[in-house]
Structure 1
Amino acid sequence: MYALIGPLLRLAVASAAARTIRVAAADAALRLAFILGAVLAAAAGMLCFTYAGLTILERHLDPAGAWAIVGGLYAAAGLALYLAATRRRT
């Protein structure tokens, strides 16, 4: 009788571990899908806001000046994000 309980317990533990791995894999896939969706939405938003900003700036400046302003804003935003990402907390 006891010889039967050991293999059954091992089978139950193995199936529980497999279920945990499947749940973790599904969770990771869902997170990746959300991240990809957020990146695509952010890219589309950046393109739309850039185009809108350039349209407004080109009404008052020449195209090169408008692009210089937009490029400077992106450079400042990139620098701020870089400094925020590399800042060490003590």
Structure 2
Amino acid sequence: MIGPLLRLATTTLAARSLRDAAADAVTRAVLALAAIVGGIIALLCFTQAALTVLERQVDPAEAWAIVGAFYAVLGGALYLAASRRRR
């Protein structure tokens, strides 16, 4: 008599913990996605602001070259940091 009741109780607890874990995973995924979207939007806004300021001082093509070179250096530094971390 007690055995089936204990199985029912443990099954219910296991299902609840699985639902909680799934809800937590979904929440974390949505927050990570929101952070990525926010970062992309911020990057675009700061790039536009930098281009606006630079285009007042130099030719628009030069401004794009400066911003492109900045992102190339930043990408190279991030690549080196990531490859160094794995070793």
CA drift of 1:88 comes to 3.4
Amino acid at match of 2:16: R
Residue 62 of structure 1 corresponds to which residue in structure 2? 59
Structure 2 residue 35 is matched with structure 1 residue 15: no
TM-score where L is the length of structure 2: 0.91
Question: Take 2:71 and 2:85, find their aligned partners in 1: how far apart are those partners?
Answer: 23
CA drift of 1:60 comes to 1.1
Q: Which has the larger radius of gyration?
A: 1
Deviation track 1:24-79 (CA, whole Å, cap 9, x = no partner) reads 00000110111111111111111110000001111111111111110111111112
Where do 5+ consecutive residues of structure 1 fail to align? none
Residue correspondences, number: 87
Q: After TM superposition, which residue ranges in structure 1, 4 or more long, deviate above 6 angstroms?
A: none
Residue 39 of structure 2 corresponds to which residue in structure 1? 42
CA drift of 1:85 comes to 2.0
RMSD over equivalenced CA pairs, Å: 1.3
Where do 5+ consecutive residues of structure 2 fail to align? none
Amino acid at match of 1:36: L
Amino acid at match of 1:82: Y
Question: Take 2:83 and 2:18, find their aligned partners in 1: how far apart are those partners?
Answer: 33
Q: Alignment identity in percent?
A: 59
